[in-house]
Chain A
Amino acid sequence: MQLSKTCDGIKRRDLLKVGSLTVGGLTLPNYLQMAQAGQISSGRADRAIFIELPGGPSHLDTFDLKPNAPSEIRGSFNSIKTNVSGIEISEHLPKLAKVADKFCILRGVSHTLAAHRLGQEYVNTGSKPIPALEYPSFGAVLAKEKPSDSVIPSLVAIPRAAQGPGFLGIRYAALETNSTPSFGQSYSVRGISLPNGIGIDEVNRRQNLLQKLDRRFSELEKKNQLLDGLDQFGSQAYSMITSSQARHAFDISQEPESFAKQFGEESFGQSCMLALRLVESGVRLVSLQLGGWDTHQDNFSKLKDNNLPKLDAGLSGLLTGLEQRGLLETTAVFVTGEFGRTPKINQRTAEGGRDHYPRCMFMLMAGGGVQGGQVIGESDDTAAGPRHDAITPDDVAASFYHNLGIDPTLEFNSSTGRPITLVRDGRIIRELFA
């Protein structure tokens, strides 16, 4: 463990709290052996919240500041102390600084895909995108391996899923809300609530009529997967539309105002609260997005005035809320953009901006078996690359699956019969679960 005293303000006595990734990590083939031998704690989470920060958030201005770097790299933000001694983050994340003991910062995460879409696919799946095959989202895998009951969907995306079910097939696609909730207002999802003008009695009456009329293929149904599937989806749809359970889970106005206020009044914060309600009611994975990180220009004012306050309120509210409800132990949280941003500030505008930079980025993890209040991995003096061994998106994905009790070496067959390992090249980051 070699940490520089000067680069990011970490003092010697804090070394115990701040680990860097040990050489090698854990190779996947060893996974089962190690798990059996009790050398890695098994995952404790059975549900998850995945927060995407599309655009690529600047690591240098958020969770990996370099106060001692030259000014053309450092930027104008200062770092502040958190409630974990030795860990410092951006001054514009004061609320998260107060709950730093609940999450783990991964620094020096590194890959090579500098295009938004490719980077997104990579961090969303833990496998480098290849043309022949689309890897499934985390949620689709969870929906397949640990489905929820029929009234509650397994997978919800607020408002849309950046990553589809890939080779697992459409049946594992997310229920997309297509909209985001607003503070203090009731909320629902397209199609699951009965619209104005039709009552439950009438829906039941219609359903009854449908059942009487839809019998042309009743003899074939048992033998035909398609007809059988259609029938199942039909009755699932009916129970979702008519049961109050799903509607109730989506209706954030059920939360007391004092609870809702913890999340801030922005729609991202309210989406975080919705995600909490959904995992509480049995949804396996909720994915959320907070965009606007593609700060090629005016990096600092955009972050300070817009993105950071939203992230700060929403994410701190989420972690606090999960803990208050006793859900943090069973809910794996994963926050990531598709890449970091260039250390050197460009001068395209007076204020300056930062460009795409996959060689060095940060990610956050919390919940389940994840030990909060630590930093894993480290970037070099100018946050231009990992100081030691890089953490890869593959490693983080393998760890996320592990946290959820899913073996990252699980094998699937694609629709073409090609065998595929869930995470090809990942190593479980053991320090996460220390």
Chain B
Amino acid sequence: MRKRTQLVGFEFGFWKHQQYASEFLDNALDAIEEFQWKELQEGDSRTQFSLDQELTLENLSILQEAQKDEIVQPLSNEVKFTLMQEIGIEPTEPSNTEIESTKDMEEDESGEIVDKEEIEVEEEVKRIIDDMNEIIKPVEPIVDIEPLVIIRLRESEAASFLTSELSQKNVMTYTFEIFDNGIGMHKGDMRKFGKYLASSKSLELKQTRGSQGFGAPSAFSDAQNTTGKPIVAVSKSKNTIYAIVSEFFTTSKNEKKYLVRPTEVDSNFLHGTYIKLHYLNVKYTRGFVDTYIKETALMNPHITLIFIDPYGKEWIYRRLVSSFPKQPKYAKPHPSSTNIGDLQDLLTKSENLTISAFLQDNFVRMSSKTAKEILKIAERNIEDKLSLMILKDGFINKLAKRSDPIYFFKYEKRVYGRSTKPRDKLIIYDIDSEELKNRYWESMDKHNKFDKDLEKLYREIRKHQDRIDKSETKKDIKKIEKEISILLNDVDRIFQERDEIKNELEKIFKDNSGLVEAKKLKNRSELEDLISEVQIFKVKPSELTNNQFNSLFHAFKSIKYMSPPTDTAIPVGDIVLESTLIKEIGLKISENIDDFDDPIENIKTSLDILQEDLKRDQDKKKIPREGEIIEDITITPEDVKNFNSSILASIDIKDQYSDLDKFQEKIEKNVNSTKEVQKDSYQEIFDFFADTYSKDDDFVSAETRPPTSGKGLAYIVEAALAYCNDSKKLDTPKRSRDVLSRFVNRTPKLRDSADCAITKAVQSVNWKNYKLDVFDNNLPKGPIKLLVNVSGPYVHLMFKSQSKNALAEDEDLLKEIKFCLEAIGRRLRVYLNRKANVRKNEKRAGLIEKYIPIFVQSTYNIVSQGEGKYKGKISEKELQNLMINAIGVKVPPKIKEKIVLAPEKMEAIELEPKKVEIKWEDTVIQTKVIPEKAEPRDEILSEKTLLNWTVNQLKEYCEEKNFSLPSQARKPEIVRCIQEFYDKRKPEKRIPLDIVAKIPLKTEPITRGSLIEKRRQLQIAKGEIIHQQPVKKESTIINQQLKPVLTQTQLPIVSTEKISEALSEDWQPITALIFKMKIKDMMDARFLQIKLKELERKGLVMVETKMGKKHWKLK
């Protein structure tokens, strides 16, 4: 038998450590995501991870915690108790949901069991639990509310049985532990766990990290093969009271040999899985596992990752975002991406009765019409193959030689065998009459001629296709393709004519005249088999013959399908990527670069709104003053802009930005004075802010491409690039492979980088265009980090090899990645250009400064020697200072135009000047107290974005935003609707009460508000928290999250009294208590568990652990 380790390939070397980490980490992440999605689906907000809090894990240290040597933390359970109430886990009224029976279900175990003394087993279980608790204890307060993965790798001494050869390589035994608080496993799952192809994930094909069920079993067998130590697995799902512990070996028969049978034990987590195994490998070095985990954390910022390496260093990657990725939809395979083996597998497994049903059930983009068409082609194929022709009433064989006997087959109702009822029986007729024979041959000759024509055509088509491969220009290819399509038309025509012959033949054999039943045929059974084989539409999918299968596959592949739906691919998202990079590297970003692209444009839109408001207010004012006749005041955006400019005009930006109060004061003062108007003030102010704030900025930009579907695969390409000026945070990578991080479905790919399509695509970008240096292999160089992620279901089909390390080069994929990177590159170029400008200005300032003393001295000398009017009145120093101060100051733009507002307009503006001030102050105070939260970017989506969405996505979005669409709307209409919706909403969102008061309001967030506030937010988000002084861990969490509001009105059914009622003099496990207390809800049971622990701590009850389970009795 083939060695199982070869399937995934665990080989001695540094990579093996990483392989272990990746196999289990991927599973863990999938489990966590699956848990959350399931919870969200069920709408059970009590157990799902709440992600809206900022997570700080500053002072978390699992190692230190472990060193405390099991000092029981008196707080932890209480914390948990309150925590659970905080997040809404409260005892509830008994519901109808039944708790899964906690009693042993006495199912037959397929694995054999090593008999052991019960005591031994109990000790073993205790040891396992202790081990597990060592890493879980420190995170206990958050273990049920934060998505979390902990990996611990420990080094033990070299195994003694090693041969000298191995020990020379510095081989050590490693203990690998991983814990995740994912969905956990039921008992049934546990039983399958560790066996090949038992993955629960392979049932539904969607965008997951691993899917085939090879990883973990292979790891298990490698682990036990190298060390001879068993594998430990502990798992608990939300719906069980106890966690299940088992310790086992896997066998070569794909079965398990238990050292510890699945045993129920107490656990301190609600759901999750813990695995521990030992393996042998060369000495651990950094750069493999830690890199893998670091990169995983980058792409999975929604999960906290903790890794403890053998040197005792903890790598903690806290959760950085507050949203979980969307659940990818289940995706059926697309016919174009299905190969012959897949189809065969599906067919043999299928329980459908007809092929048509099978096709429709198993493939996407497979309508009944398409299925019919496939069957028709398949039928035609098999007809040709078996030289039979299916007619309406029967079958006739196709012959080429006149000497062969012609048979006509027909099912007729006959009574035969033992049955007395007539049944269908295949009757074989000989053809007797010469006339019939002649007519048959007449048609058959034609038919045969068509066959020959067809062959000829096919040959020609093949020739053309060869030419396509050889030709280089697109023009040539198009030309040849055109020729082929003409030929294909011919083929179709011939098929039609052949069908006509069929009709003719049908007419010939309409009635049985001239037919003689052939009774004594030697090859009757053969012929009968043939007839049943040709009827492909009648066969069960699982019972296809070889011929049938081949024809079916041929037909299956010869049809053109719609490309697969794109909503099955879920990206990480550009905003998430950007914020992750900012937080992870600690980039200094004062304002997103996009917002600076065209400030004037932004203002224009805001002014449009403003203008509308002004108009509306004007209309309102008309009503009370009925007697007067007021002319329509038309205010153009230009007027508004001028008015606003007038406010800004006389503000000396340079001094004011530091002192906000003064700034406001000044604006206030200028609200009414429209004497000097500066048209360019906006631009100037933006330039100034851009200069001031983004001068030392780092750069980050991410791009998520719209989903693509090519060759039967739907996928999304996304990339992010960070450019960091601070070499402490992000050093310029010396090796090209450190620049680029490749991901597939959020899983980092560390090996085979040169072979990968992602690398090739990155290399194909002309980075010099975007002001980046390149390595010899054309990968970009500089203080940058580049992430590229390809997401989608069926990505495993895009890999080059089984090891799943490199994506195969696909033209569409390469193009997508390239476009994606180029979009980022364009933004990078803007940034780098701006940076270069700043540098140039600085250099210029230095140069100019150098000349000042010389210039001043010359001037001074002339003046002091001569008889000019300044003789004796100037000092060199003074002149020098004056000139130095002038460096870098922009020449104030000349006032181009003095805007004279028309009298009416002036009136409109100066209507209530006093009110203006009050309103202004009000709004200012408001904005001060509650800084306007940065609007999420997708709040108002641009037309372009909307057009990139699919119709379904748009509809979903509309539902989310709660507005109806005309049914049957097409994409452009929907987009228009959405935009109209925005337009409607905009003014509502921003209307302050007074006309003039809102002018400063509008200008204020743009100039000062958004920039400074956002900047502050960012500082808070990245800087302050990172540099926070370490606080006691519990206290931070309590302070942040806990304000226990106990709802006393709803009396919990799990009260201390009730528990003491239920407790008796005998030892009772928790299951007995649950039964006694008639607890039916899982959460209540969980609550009982916590309550019991509390009582235990207070010393009110007695506890004894039997078989890993706690038993209670009254004191």
Asked whether A and B interact, the reply is: no
A-to-B contact residues, CB < 8 Å: none
